[in-house]
């Protein structure tokens, strides 16, 4: 939408600082990461690291950590599905039922962001602890099949619950954005034409909200797959996610080659899944 | 419509709203716990995950845990600087992309979207790989954290400001030009004030992203400790209750800012409607 008379290079000049920053500190680092993944695995901080095109790094980390990789995708997928279900209810309620309270409720959706992510996760540790009301209620109801010896903490359930909680706003906001654009008269028309509420929902509302569903699931799944805070604070040491492994390879063992290779694999797996998903969902404009 | 159908319909309408509110309550439970625990006196007990007795000690001796207030100051400093830099260069990019024509638009869009679509652990480890490769591996600290924070805030700023700009009616700008305002006047008197709410929203978002970040920061911080890193380190040993004071204060400030803005908007809308 250029106005006549706008100078030809102004656009580039305005874009330049941001583009340079992202180029230097986002695009080029990817190159460094890929080359780190091809380091000689015998390098160390003292002897230096050398690119030796040591492709075996990839096989080694897959062999050693495929369990964590698979667990991350599985936890992230499950958490994304739960977020979609409860996030849809909330986004729908705000978009269609909240009336004048819409903006206030939207503010409340992002409000949890303002207490630290780590503090909120630690709160869950308290809520799910053995003395907490959740565990005692579930025990009284004999709903213990997903608990481990009557504990909730340090189980996959606690980790997935933490991920769901922490990434829910990323699901709700894009869902709301696309639900809000739907013309309510379309839904009325469907019920005028004798569609029952369920049919009206699945034939009208759901298809029209698909862009929000795609954006929301991506914005939830991707960070969730790389997250390790929830697994660290709420899970057990045997239930590590791939993020835990990458972080400890980098900071504790300083195995930059292995950590780099695992990061590249994680990114590649996510990219492939996202591309397949977008193609199947049939949407292209994400931003 | 029969009374039964009417009742059913009423129930159904409020069912969705009720369920939605339940989800919101769920989102606030952990925050209530943070506020509650800021008044907890764990006493001699090692179990910091249970409320024992009420005290205001944590509030009156907020800086008692060694290093905590220092980490808060570091996080605030990085948060403010990263917000200013990311908001300025991100808003410029958004103006450039919406209001000017240039080749390579879709490439720019992709590069801006990618950081939001990459797991933090991958972005953090790539940056660390770059710093190590260029010999800055031993100089990790304030500046490397700042560079990382500006990087991941930028995309969110561009997307937020762009959304605001594309929603604006460009007839206003055309009108200003027709009335012989030059480009600079048009920009500062029309475009910029209209875009300001989007820019402020982007700044608020940047600050909260920066203040809250752990994964990328932890990889690139070296010996520096930001507040989330302090909490993480403390979680391994036993968390001092004072971290909940910081959480509560941040939450109250942010809610005040956002709600104040909302009330102001409502007042303005009412003034426009009646005036």
Nearest in space to B206 (alpha carbons), one of B255, B149, B159: B149
Phi and psi angles of residue B54, each rounded to the nearest 5 degrees, phi first: -80, 140
**Tokens at B270, concatenated:** 């009412």
Tell me what the pLDDT averaged over chain B comes to. Answer: 87
Please state, in angstroms and rounded to a whole number, the distance separating the CA atoms of residues A95 and A174.
Answer: 12
- pLDDT value at residue B117: 80
Partner-chain residue, chosen from A1, A12, A120, that has the shortest CB–CB distance to B170: A1
**Tokens at A143, concatenated:** 């709903």
Q: Are A2 and B100 in contact (CB under 8 A)?
A: yes
Partner-chain residue, chosen from B218, B243, B259, that has the shortest CB–CB distance to A119: B243
Mutation pick from B120, B125, B221 vs chain A, by most beta carbons of A within 10 Å, is B125
pLDDT, one tens digit per residue, over B223-243 is 899 999 999 988 887 788 899
Across the range B244-262, mean pLDDT stands at: 87
* Whether pLDDT at B46 is above 60: no
CB contact under 8 A, A123 and B34: yes
CB contact under 8 A, B130 and A96: no
- pLDDT value at residue B43: 73
Partner-chain residue, chosen from A18, A129, A168, that has the shortest CB–CB distance to B93: A18
Mutation pick from B79, B122, B131, B199 vs chain A, by most beta carbons of A within 10 Å, is B122
Distances (CA, A) of B170 to A71, A246, B145, B156, B202: 50, 48, 39, 23, 21
Name the minimum distance, in Å, from the CA of B33 to any CA of chain A.
6
Count Cβ atoms below 10 Å from residue B74 Cβ, excluding itself: 21
Q: Is A5 left (phi over 0), alpha (psi -120 to 50) or beta?
A: left
ipTM: 0.84
User: Which residues on A lie below 8 Å from B137 (Cβ)?
Assistant: 45
- pLDDT value at residue A6: 52
**Tokens at B4, concatenated:** 């039964």
CB contact under 8 A, B27 and A49: no
CB contact under 8 A, A219 and B243: no
Using CA coordinates, name the residue in chain A closest to B173: A3
Using CA coordinates, name the residue in chain A closest to B16: A93
Q: Does A89 touch chain B (CB under 8 A)?
A: yes
The label of the residue with tokens 């979207």 reads: B113
Please state, in angstroms and rounded to a whole number, the distance separating the CA atoms of residues B140 and B159.
Answer: 29
Partner-chain residue, chosen from A14, A105, A250, that has the shortest CB–CB distance to B24: A105
Q: Does A87 touch chain B (CB under 8 A)?
A: yes
Greatest distance between any 2 Cα atoms in chain B: 78
CB contact under 8 A, B215 and A256: no
- pLDDT value at residue A47: 56
CB contact under 8 A, B119 and A222: yes
Partner-chain residue, chosen from B109, B231, B253, that has the shortest CB–CB distance to A119: B231
- pLDDT value at residue A48: 61
pLDDT, one tens digit per residue, over B136-164 is 878 899 999 999 999 999 999 999 898 88
Name the minimum distance, in Å, from the CA of B13 to any CA of chain A.
7
Distances (CA, A) of A277 to A213, A215, A225, A273, A281: 11, 11, 15, 6, 6
Partner-chain residue, chosen from A32, A113, A233, that has the shortest CB–CB distance to B212: A113
* Whether pLDDT at B36 is above 80: yes
Q: Are B61 and B245 in contact (CB under 8 A)?
A: no
Q: Does A144 touch chain B (CB under 8 A)?
A: no
User: Which residues on B lie below 8 Å from A129 (Cβ)?
Assistant: 49-50
* Whether pLDDT at B85 is above 90: yes
Please state, in angstroms and rounded to a whole number, the distance separating the CA atoms of residues A32 and B129.
Answer: 6
Q: B46 or A107: which carries more pLDDT confidence?
A: A107
Please state, in angstroms and rounded to a whole number, the distance separating the CA atoms of residues B176 and B192.
Answer: 13
- pLDDT value at residue B58: 85
- pLDDT value at residue B9: 78
**Which residues of chain A fall below pLDDT 50?**
1-5, 284-287
């Amino acid at each position: 939408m250029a106005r006549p008379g706008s100078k030809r290079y102004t656009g580039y000049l305005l874009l330049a600082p941001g583009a340079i920053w992202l180029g230097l500190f986002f695009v080029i680092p990817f190159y460094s990461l890929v080359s780190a993944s091809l380091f000689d695995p015998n390098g160390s901080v003292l002897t230096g690291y050398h690119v030796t095109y040591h492709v075996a790094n990839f096989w080694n980390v897959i062999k050693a950590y495929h369990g964590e990789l698979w667990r991350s995708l599985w936890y992230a997928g499950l958490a994304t599905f739960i977020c979609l279900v409860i996030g849809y209810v909330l986004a729908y309620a705000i978009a269609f039922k909240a009336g004048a309270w819409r903006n206030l409720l939207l503010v409340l959706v992002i409000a949890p962001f303002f207490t630290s992510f780590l503090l909120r996760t630690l709160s869950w540790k308290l809520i799910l602890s053995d003395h907490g009301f959740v565990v005692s209620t579930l025990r009284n109801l004999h709903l213990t099949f997903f608990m481990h010896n009557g504990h909730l903490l340090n189980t996959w359930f606690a980790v997935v619950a933490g991920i769901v909680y922490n990434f829910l706003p990323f699901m709700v906001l894009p869902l709301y954005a696309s639900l809000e654009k739907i013309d309510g008269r379309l839904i009325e028309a469907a019920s005028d034409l004798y569609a029952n509420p369920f049919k009206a929902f699945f034939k009208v509302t759901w298809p029209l909200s698909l862009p929000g569903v795609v954006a929301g699931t991506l914005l939830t799944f991707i960070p969730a797959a790389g997250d390790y805070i929830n697994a660290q604070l709420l899970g057990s040491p045997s239930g590590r996610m791939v993020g835990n492994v990458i972080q400890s390879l980098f900071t504790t063992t300083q195995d930059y080659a292995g950590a780099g290779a695992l990061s590249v694999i994680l990114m590649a797996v996510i990219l492939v899944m996202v591309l397949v998903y977008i193609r199947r969902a049939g949407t292209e404009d994400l931003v | 419509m029969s009374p039964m159908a009417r009742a059913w319909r009423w129930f159904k309408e409020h069912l969705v709203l009720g369920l939605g509110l339940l989800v919101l309550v769920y989102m606030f439970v952990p925050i209530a716990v943070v506020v509650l625990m800021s008044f907890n006196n764990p006493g001699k007990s090692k179990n910091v995950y249970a409320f024992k007795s009420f005290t205001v000690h944590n509030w009156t001796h907020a800086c008692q845990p060694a290093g905590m207030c220092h980490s808060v100051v570091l996080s605030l400093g990085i948060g403010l600087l990263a917000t200013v830099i990311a908001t300025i260069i991100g808003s410029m990019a958004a103006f450039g992309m919406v209001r000017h024509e240039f080749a390579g638009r879709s490439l720019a869009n992709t590069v801006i979207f990618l950081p939001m679509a990459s797991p933090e652990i991958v972005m953090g480890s790539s940056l660390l790989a770059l710093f190590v490769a260029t010999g800055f591996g031993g100089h990790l600290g304030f500046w490397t954290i700042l560079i990382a924070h500006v990087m991941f805030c930028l995309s969110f700023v561009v997307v937020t400001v762009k959304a605001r700009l594309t929603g604006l009616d460009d007839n206003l700008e055309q009108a200003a030009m027709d009335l012989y305002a030059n480009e600079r006047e048009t920009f500062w008197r029309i475009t910029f004030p209209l875009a300001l709410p989007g820019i402020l929203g982007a700044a608020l978002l940047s600050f909260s992203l920066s203040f809250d970040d752990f994964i990328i920061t932890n990889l690139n911080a070296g010996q520096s400790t930001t507040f989330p890193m302090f909490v993480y380190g403390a979680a391994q040993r036993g968390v001092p209750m004072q971290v909940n004071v910081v959480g509560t204060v941040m939450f109250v400030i942010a809610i005040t800012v956002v709600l104040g803005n909302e009330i102001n908007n409502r007042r303005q809308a009412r003034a426009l409607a009646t005036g």
